[in-house]
Amino acid sequence: MVSYKRLSPEDVQFTNTSASEESPAQVEVKDPEESERLLLQRRPHCSATTAIITLGFLLLVASGFWLLGTIFWLHGPSPSASNGAPQPRPPPGLGKVDGHRGSLSEPQACAGVPEAWRFDCYPERGVVVTRELCEARNCCFIPASSSSSPPSSGRNGVPWCFYSPTFPSYSLVSLNQTEQGIVGSLVRTVKTYYPKDVLTLRLDVLYETDHRLRVRITDPSAARFEVPITVPSATVKASSPAYTVELTNQPYGLVVKRTSTGAVLVNTSVSPLFYCDQFLQMSSSLASQYVYGLGEHRSTFLHDIHWNTLTMWARDAAPVELTNLYGAHPFYLSMEEGGGGTAHGFFLLNSNAMDVVLQPGPAITWRTIGGILDFYVFLGPEPASVIGQYLEVVGYPSMPISWALGYHLCRWGYRSSNATWDVVRNMRNYGIPQDVQWNDIDYMDHSLDFTFDPVNFATLSDMDPGISSVQPKEQYWPYDEGLKRGVFINQSDGETLIGKVWPGLTAFPDFSNPVTHEWWYENLQRFHDKVPFDGLWIDMNEPSNFLDGSTVGCPDNELENPPYTPGILGGLLRAKTACASALQKTSSHYNMHSLYGLLEAEASSSALRRILRKRPFIISRSTFPSQGRYSGHWLGDNRSHWKDMYTSIAGMLTFNLLGIPLVGADICGFSEKTDEELCVRWTQLGIFYPFSRNHNSLDQPAQDPAAFSPLARSAMKEALLLRSSLFPLLYTLFHRAHTHGHTVARPLLFEFPADVRTYGIDRQFLWGRSLLVTPVLDPGVDYVSGYFPRGLWYDYYTGDSVRSKGEDLRLDAPLDKFNLHLREGAIIPKQRPNTTLWVSVRQPLQLISCLSDDGSATGELFWDDGESLDTFETDEYAHIVFNVAKNTMTSEVLHNHLEAFNIIVETAIFYGVKFEPSRVTVNSQDAGYVYRSNQVLQVLGLELKLSQNFTISWM
């Protein structure tokens, strides 16, 4: 068998031109023996003497290298990590592995594997890996020269125990064309060191679209769990795919390349494939070090690929680094090296507990403990196109109800309705904008869902999934009725699983059961009849449990104690959640756990659509791919620290990549005491969270804007008025997210993919393509530095311009100032702000045009009633586009609606008008204007109807 390696472009052979023309989706299968035969046939003739001399010389050189390599291996560490891929080695003899024949690890082969390309053969945590343990798995054992860590598995660093280049894997033994692509059979003849190997696998390579490839590796003899979300199903092979697929047969390997550049996007030949009942592992090279996504974890936006393990298993845990958090999103976006800004994406459709290991090869390992290997490759080529293609699979995000985009206030600890309303009154008295008021769990009666404290509270709602199981019989309808209908998760023996959450002993609804969805709707309807709430906050839905498993523990079986447990917080699958062996309608909790938040959000969204007949507003803590179709997300129980404010930007940008654009962090921090400076700066940042909410914890000082000094109140008020004024832009961006899969809060690299300087930026971001946000993220400063990509930028407030070559600029930033800049070529709509969006959205519009050097700019506005269901799908909306060219702005109504008739445009502002006009006309009539020395032209006093085309010209 041949070696595992990262193939260079020279190693990968494409189908020939004529074959490509006949079948663009044809796959090349490389046979090493055939390659050797072809090479032998091409060897030139030589004399016997020359051959003997040459052979002798080669033997002498080989012996020398063998001797030096053996001495080096016996007496020293391995070579330093290198970005070069491991080179092929000849197949060694066979030895014994778990009673079966397997390859022995030769010293020369092991020493030849660069550190950066060593794939961990002993990933179990808490084990001090010795040479004996490692070689029992028939793997290489070499202490890494650049690692100071002991050989303890589970610690980040170069693995000391790693696969030899000839470790046994699957072979591709058959291959056939299908209408969608190809189907093959993979066979393993040597068992692994994990139990229950699946020795024969089915490989399906599906050319679904020109920019989307799907690969499925399944067990043809037994059904295995598959994630129950709806994905598109292609029926014909893509006609002109942007990718080329190559398969090697012994060992099996799959390589996906971008046809236009030759970039290798996926190469599974670098390490052996594992497919056991409870251990599936696949590694691949990466196209570059630039990897994003892979939520939910607290980290920088650009992931560190230096031996970084990201574990996925939904968990109730305050955000800290190197910990599995509330959601699981096995999707990454990667910028390609030397590709001129091209990008691709990879999505593993698997909900089981998993580790995703990034290493500096660069390479990635997917290690999951159930389900199947079902993955997609998205070819972009632009980063934004990658996200759109991903969302074509998992679903575009829903369009939010308009008030959801306002400013929200909440805390745990208001303690009464009166105290809650005092906060609202104070905000109104100071003229500080606020759209939504929340309460946390203290509004409930003894923390019971679907109840409220009849003495201290009468309104507002906070939902978590736990249903109390200890109330007097026939006195708590949700539990009594749930038992009758069988809606709760059961233990493996069939009895209702009882855990513990805020109300005490608790049962957990099984949202994989359609019966539960109807029961959930009826509970919400009954509660809405008492307290007419407008939205739902779904907390603790990992699901969280104050116990490990249940009140009676969990059985000792293979689901609770799999042969490999990923690096989850607590070390056990049942840590602070339900038993893995618990029974749900669709499958065991072992398979369904990370889907819990998604399925509850789906049930909640359906219920609210029926109850309110409006767009549902739901914020969920736990998430999974396709969550954006049903809910938004907040980034969990952060702290009142400057670092938490900074990391919230990466979290916000990551969730926009993951198709959940309605996202934000608790402004000013949830736990611990904030301070005035931090809260002001965080509010200035938080107005640019797509979901903007200030929320803090029990027994902490109040941190709503009205609670601070006049200077702080004024700064926060100005920030919140700014958000209110930008609602038309934000609403239009959400429309684009809903209809085209665009991001709302956007990393700079999306708009400047050819500028490598933008790849690691997560202290700045954009709204859409044009509004650059540069927040202050450090204490005690009155300036901020920001990177401005090449081009012309305008100060949002003044229109002053700066031409950047792609450089860092220092910006003044006193406490009452926030730095915003507009990109050349953009037209953004804004409105006269007010204290609520309900008032603001009825105010006149202003249009700001940011002219490029050639005097051009474009923009758009989406408008509807802000709350009705499916307005775009039912044509109940207005869509207007704006253009500036040759000193003329035009407004074109592409789609009209009654809502647009009530809105007027009162001001048009043009940044970058190079010469003072002598005349300005509006619809061919003279109009008043103001021209300033910084090349800003203002046309004031307009009464232009948004619903009618208009022109504004100057000369």
pLDDT in tens, 2-12: 334 333 333 33
Show the 3-state SS of 621-680.
Answer: CCCCCCHHHCCEEECCCCECCHHHHHHHHHHHHHHHHCCCCCEECEECCCECCCCHHHHH
Using CA atoms, how far residue 281 sits from 169, 354, 399, 696, 848, in Å, is 11, 10, 37, 41, 53
Residue 340: Cβ within 10 Å count: 10
d(C-alpha 714, C-alpha 724), whole Å = 15
Decide if pLDDT at 35 tops 90. no
Give percent of the chain with pLDDT exceeding 70.
Answer: 87
Task: Return the pLDDT at 96.
Answer: 31
Greatest extent of the chain over all pairs of C-alpha atoms, in Å: 105
Higher pLDDT, 442 or 20: 442
Cα within 13 Å of Cα(743), Cβ side: 28
d(C-alpha 662, C-alpha 397), whole Å = 9
> Which residues make Cβ contacts (< 8 Å) with residue 495, sequence separation at least 6?
none
Provide the mean pLDDT of the chain.
89
Catalytic residue among 539, 637, 644, 704: 539
pLDDT average, residue stretch 908-934:
97
d(C-alpha 89, C-alpha 167), whole Å = 11
State residue 889 phi and psi, 5-degree precision. Answer: -95, 135
pLDDT in tens, 791-833: 999 999 999 999 999 999 999 999 999 999 999 999 999 999 9
pLDDT average, residue stretch 373-384:
98
Task: Return the pLDDT at 89.
Answer: 31
Give the residue carrying structure tokens 């859409």.
Answer: 768
pLDDT in tens, 392-442: 999 999 999 999 999 999 999 898 888 888 999 999 999 999 999 998 888
Residue 1's pLDDT band (cuts 50, 70, 90):
very low
Instruction: Give the lowest-confidence range in 466-480, 536-550, 552-566.
Output: 466-480
d(C-alpha 636, C-alpha 693), whole Å = 12
Task: Return the pLDDT at 475.
Answer: 85
pLDDT average, residue stretch 23-34:
43
The tokens for 421 are: 């309303």
Residue 46's pLDDT band (cuts 50, 70, 90):
very low
End-to-end CA distance of the chain: 76
The tokens for 473 are: 């019989």
Please choose, from the candidates 212, 364, 161, the residue with its C-alpha nearest in 3D space to the C-alpha of residue 281.
364
State residue 257 phi and psi, 5-degree precision. Answer: -125, 150
pLDDT in tens, 451-480: 888 887 754 444 466 778 878 887 899 999
| Cβ atoms of residues 777 and 754 within 8 Å | no
pLDDT in tens, 678-687: 999 999 999 9
> Which residues make Cβ contacts (< 8 Å) with residue 472, sequence separation at least 6?
none
Does 542 qualify as catalytic in the annotation? yes
d(C-alpha 397, C-alpha 388), whole Å = 11
Residue 29's pLDDT band (cuts 50, 70, 90):
low
Catalytic residue among 336, 442, 542, 899: 542
Decide if pLDDT at 777 tops 50. yes
| Cβ atoms of residues 253 and 614 within 8 Å | no
Residue 28's pLDDT band (cuts 50, 70, 90):
low
Please choose, from the candidates 166, 217, 161, the residue with its C-alpha nearest in 3D space to the C-alpha of residue 190.
166
Residue 54's pLDDT band (cuts 50, 70, 90):
very low
Does 539 qualify as catalytic in the annotation? yes
The DSSP-derived string for 395-442 is: -PPPPPPGGGGSEEEEETT--SHHHHHHHHHHHHHTT----EE---GG
pLDDT in tens, 325-360: 999 999 999 999 986 899 999 999 999 999 999 999
Sheet holding 436-437, edge to edge: 436-437, 407-411, 692-696, 666-667
Residue 885 bridge partners (DSSP): 888
Decide if pLDDT at 59 tops 90. no
Instruction: Give the lowest-confidence range in 47-51, 841-845, 861-865, 919-923.
Output: 47-51
Report the helix count and the strand count for the chain, using DSSP H and E: 18, 52
